């Protein structure tokens, strides 16, 4: 081969090249550009390439991933020559590359780092004739218009564009600098036909021009608004001067000032309040209406003027009407309704167990001040910062649990406990409240959808077994949405729908609960207790097993500190009692570790009322006897075997009713609380009052 013979580039470029995956956008051939690399695997590829011929392949990822596989890469990329490398202080590398030619990946020879691909290089497909020349002129002409109106295009870019002599390279250069989506850029990179590539680029140039036109129009509108605002300001000033000459009110601010003045005078403020309000009103009169502080002061004065500073006038209150409204809107809740009827007004509701202090303030402290009769006649908040009398306001605060309510705050309130609902109550609530509400919400008429009693009871028992009715309502919404779909999508416009028990599976899927999930003591070492949680009453199973080993008591099930103490008391009591009463020696405990567990281990549990339940489970384990079927119990246990009273009997009885319990063992001192439990809840349940653990054993584990 002669020294001056030209060698085709395909003979110089290797057919096997290391590959660097690109995030962002592809890089086109014919470009000299810097490239930042921080990934150590990519830096390793660069180092290996520089030790050889400096050639690397650049391939765009289909989706931007931290560690892409070869399947995540497009099949067409650009081969580049590394011209220079600069090591940066943070360990990353900046390289300057000259991109040479398109390539297509035939296959990957190495799929792990460093990735190596066997490639075919792609030549531009040129077409003869004037069409490509015309496209070239059109592209350059249109790009000149864009570059003249877009400051992002530097003079160097304009010169490069004009000096490129190959139509395909012109299309590549423009595709790399205008705003095109990464996937569209990749499509252009994959086009080897120059005419098609130029036509595609010309489309995006036209889109860029349209965006520039919209941008210029928006900028012109903004400038017009600024000029209009300045013109309006001068005109307002002139109008103000004319009105002043004629003795007329000068502006709207003057009207607001007069309105505030009349309202404030009618309140006849005194002392600190009068001084501060007058000061803010005077400041308001001197402010520029266009300033931000003008709005703040105006809002503050409007709030002052909207508050009832004068003593409220007495007004007639129809007790019977209030009771009718409560009965129409709410089912049951007799204690709450009676308490509300005792008062004249309800002004505020708040869930106080969810409050917490932060850098923004402590709402519980503010509420404590609001409820304190020694302070609330001059309550002061941080925004208004004026003393205001709220002593005549009746606050109703709601909470799911009292555990997180600060004791000083709780001391200033009367506590009314709300029990959960049993299935019969849920049935009535659904018929009179939830079904009509859900039908209306989902655009259905009452006449179109009917429920059988069995269907509503089944929803309560098999799908929504919680103490409230929130999930019950969500399930009704689900049924009605599916019916609405059948009417609208499937064209069943004239059909009436009957929701019965067999059809529930079609609307709601298979039941979430079944009869087997009722909590039962099915073998020795098990007992059913009653708990009182933030969501109402609940039943819980206590399980005990004995494992060979060193004596000890292992507790699991996320028990709180008080419940762990109850478990220790129950263990100590049973250990001594079985020796005295049943003649079981100490070796039973010395040779075994007792494991006491409460299922649903992710749910925190605490309180002393499980004491007799734990003792019964342990005694059942030691004696090898099951407790009476469908029996539950609640009561605190002392070391001497006394059964102490507990709280929440009403809520616990509701939970027992839901769980089909027939017998409940309770402390004798809680018998007075049975009067608070509705007759329909007590029906079918026999209560067994006890004084000692001996009484519990005689009922739950009779010989």
Map residue 499 onto helix, strand or coil: strand
**How far is the C-alpha of 222 from the C-alpha of 490, rounded, in Å?**
51
Contacts of 251 (CB under 8 A, 6+ apart): 236, 240, 243, 289
Report whether 459 contacts 472 (CB < 8 A).
yes
**How far is the C-alpha of 315 from the C-alpha of 326, rounded, in Å?**
20
Residue 468 burial (C-beta neighbours within 10 Å; 0-12, 13-18, 19+): middle
Is 652 a catalytic site residue?
yes
Angle subtended at Cα 567 by Cα 566 and Cα 571, rounded to the nearest 5 degrees:
120
Is 391 a catalytic site residue?
no
**How far is the C-alpha of 613 from the C-alpha of 593, rounded, in Å?**
19
First to last CA, the chain: 113
**How far is the C-alpha of 80 from the C-alpha of 54, rounded, in Å?**
8
Find the catalytic residue in 176, 458, 467, 609: 609
Angle subtended at Cα 630 by Cα 628 and Cα 631, rounded to the nearest 5 degrees:
60
Q: Look up residue 343 and give its two tokens.
A: 């008062």
Contacts of 471 (CB under 8 A, 6+ apart): 463, 464
DSSP alpha helix (H) spans, 420-469: 423-429, 435-441, 453-462
**How far is the C-alpha of 377 from the C-alpha of 379, rounded, in Å?**
6
Backbone dihedral region of 198: left (phi > 0), alpha (psi from -120 to 50 degrees) or beta?
Answer: alpha
Q: Report the sign of the C-alpha dihedral through residues 398, 599, 702, 565, in that order.
A: negative
Q: Which of 472, 549, 478 is nearest to 509 (CA)?
A: 478
Pairing of strands 592-597, 643-644: unpaired
Q: Which secondary structure element, helix H or strand E, spans residue 334, and what is its range?
A: helix 334-341
Angle subtended at Cα 137 by Cα 134 and Cα 140, rounded to the nearest 5 degrees:
150
Contacts of 539 (CB under 8 A, 6+ apart): 519, 528, 529, 530, 531, 632, 655, 656, 658, 659, 661
Find the catalytic residue in 426, 605, 652, 657: 652
Please report where in the chains the tokens 């494992």 appear, as a residue: 547
Angle subtended at Cα 621 by Cα 615 and Cα 627, rounded to the nearest 5 degrees:
75
Peptide bond just before 114 cis, omega within 30 deg: yes
Report whether 584 contacts 510 (CB < 8 A).
no
Pairing of strands 93-110, 32-37: antiparallel
**CA-to-CA separations, 339 to 372, 534, 608, 675, in angstroms, rounded:** 20, 22, 30, 18
* φ, ψ dihedrals at 687, nearest 5°: -95, 135
DSSP alpha helix (H) spans, 247-318: 252-267, 271-286, 292-306
Residue 614 burial (C-beta neighbours within 10 Å; 0-12, 13-18, 19+): buried
Residues with catalytic annotation? 609, 652
């Amino acid at each position: 081969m002669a020294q001056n013979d030209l060698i085709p580039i395909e003979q110089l470029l290797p057919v096997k090249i290391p590959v660097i995956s690109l995030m962002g956008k592809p890089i086109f051939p014919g470009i000299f550009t810097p490239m930042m690399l921080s990934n150590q695997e990519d830096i390793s590829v660069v180092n290996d390439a520089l030790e050889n011929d400096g050639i690397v392949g650049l391939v765009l990822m289909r989706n931007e991933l931290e560690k892409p596989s070869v399947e995540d890469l497009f099949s067409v990329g650009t081969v580049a020559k590394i011209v220079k490398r600069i090591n940066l202080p943070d360990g990353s590398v900046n390289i300057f590359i000259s991109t040479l030619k398109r390539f297509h990946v035939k296959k990957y020879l190495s799929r792990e780092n460093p990735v190596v691909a066997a490639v075919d290089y792609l030549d531009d497909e040129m077409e003869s004739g004037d069409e490509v020349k015309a496209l070239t002129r059109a592209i350059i002409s249109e790009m000149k218009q864009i570059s003249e109106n877009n400051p992002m295009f530097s003079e160097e870019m304009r010169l490069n564009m004009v000096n490129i002599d190959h139509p395909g390279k012109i299309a590549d250069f423009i595709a790399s600098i205008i705003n095109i989506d990464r996937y569209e850029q990749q499509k252009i990179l994959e086009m080897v036909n120059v005419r098609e590539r130029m036509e595609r680029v010309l489309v995006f140039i036209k889109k860029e021009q349209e965006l520039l036109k919209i941008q210029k129009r928006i900028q012109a509108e903004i400038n017009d608004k600024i000029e209009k605002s300045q013109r309006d300001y001068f005109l307002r000033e002139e109008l103000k001067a004319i009105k002043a000459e004629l003795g007329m009110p000068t502006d709207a601010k003057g009207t607001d000032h007069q309105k505030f003045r009349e309202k404030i005078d009618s309140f006849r403020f005194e002392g600190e309040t009068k001084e501060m309000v007058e000061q803010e009103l005077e400041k308001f009169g001197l402010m520029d209406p266009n300033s931000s502080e003008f709005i703040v002061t105006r809002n503050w004065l409007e709030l002052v003027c909207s508050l009832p500073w004068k003593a409220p006038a007495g007004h007639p209150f129809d007790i019977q009407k209030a009771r009718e409204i409560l009965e129409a809107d709410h089912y049951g809740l007799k204690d709450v309704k009676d308490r509300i009827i005792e008062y004249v007004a309800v002004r505020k509701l708040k869930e106080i167990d969810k409050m917490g202090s932060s850098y923004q303030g402590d709402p519980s402290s503010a509420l404590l001040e609001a409820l304190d009769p020694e302070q609330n006649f001059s309550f002061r908040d941080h925004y208004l910062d004026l003393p205001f009398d709220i002593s005549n306001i009746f606050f109703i605060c709601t909470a799911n649990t009292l555990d997180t309510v600060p004791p000083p705050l709780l001391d200033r309130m009367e506590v009314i406990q709300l029990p959960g609902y049993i299935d019969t109550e849920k049935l009535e609530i659904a018929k009179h409240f939830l079904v009509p509400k859900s039908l209306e919400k989902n655009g259905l008429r009452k006449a179109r959808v009917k429920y059988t009693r069995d269907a509503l009871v089944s929803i309560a028992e098999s799908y929504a077994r919680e103490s409230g009715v929130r999930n019950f309502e969500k399930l009704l919404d689900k049924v009605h949405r599916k019916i609405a779909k059948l009417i609208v999508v499937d064209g069943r416009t004239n059909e009436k729908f009957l929701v019965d028990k067999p059809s529930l599976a079609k609307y709601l899927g298979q039941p979430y609960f079944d009869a087997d999930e009722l909590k039962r003591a099915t073998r020795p070492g098990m007992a059913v207790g009653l708990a009182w949680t933030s969501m109402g009453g609940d039943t819980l199973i206590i399980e005990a097993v004995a494992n060979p080993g060193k004596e000890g008591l292992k507790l699991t099930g996320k028990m709180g500190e008080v419940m762990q103490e109850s478990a220790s008391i129950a263990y100590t009591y049973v250990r001594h009692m079985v020796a005295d009463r049943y003649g079981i020696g100490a070796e039973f405990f010395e040779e075994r570790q007792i494991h006491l567990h409460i299922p649903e281990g992710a749910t925190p549990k605490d309180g002393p009322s499980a004491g007799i339940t734990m003792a019964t489970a342990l005694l059942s384990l030691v004696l090898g006897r099951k407790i009476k079927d469908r029996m539950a119990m609640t009561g605190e246990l002392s070391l001497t075997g006394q059964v102490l009273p507990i709280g929440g009997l009403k809520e616990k009885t509701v939970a027992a009713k839901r769980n089909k319990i027939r017998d409940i063992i309770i402390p004798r001192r809680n018998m007075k609380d049975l009067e608070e439990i509705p007759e329909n809840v007590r029906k079918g349940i026999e209560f067994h009052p006890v004084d000692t653990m001996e009484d519990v054993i005689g009922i739950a584990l009779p010989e």
